[in-house]
Amino acid sequence: MNLAFWGLILNFIGTFILLLITLFGRWHQIKYDNHWTRRYWWNERRPFYKNTLTKKWNFKWNHIVIVEGFIPPKHFWNSIGFIFIAVGFIFQLLNLIYV
């Protein structure tokens, strides 16, 4: 199989990731600790969780927690999809050069 085929497959995967994130992306909000730092928070479903009082693992389908981080999951997966598309484009360019 040549590089153009693999480039096309990677482009499809990256486009599919971007489409899923556009349709089902989580809502997030910026929280400023200082002027130069920003953190994001969003709601996340975690069905398995550890109870802080009994220290036992529990299971509940609708257990939603607030998560903080430096980059929200929507931006993270957008960058992953862009990397797939960029690598696929590079594979297609390499196929044009070496053919």
Q: Report yes or no on whether pTM surpasses 0.85.
A: no
What is the per-residue pLDDT across 28-69, written as a single tens digit (0 to 9) for each? 888 887 777 788 888 888 888 888 888 899 898 888 888 888
Determine the average pLDDT of the residues in 10-36: 89
Instruction: Give strand pairing partners of 67.
Output: 42
Cα(79)–Cα(32) distance, integer angstroms = 23
Q: Determine the residue type at 25.
A: G
Contact in structure between 79 and 87 (CB atoms under 8 Å): no
Classify each residue of 44-53 as buried b or exposed e, where b means 16 or more C-beta atoms within 10 Å of its C-beta.
Answer: eeeeeeeeee
Q: How many CA atoms lie within 13 A of 26 on its CB side?
A: 19
Note the pLDDT of residue 20: 94
pLDDT tens, residue by residue, 73-94 = 889 999 999 999 999 999 999 9
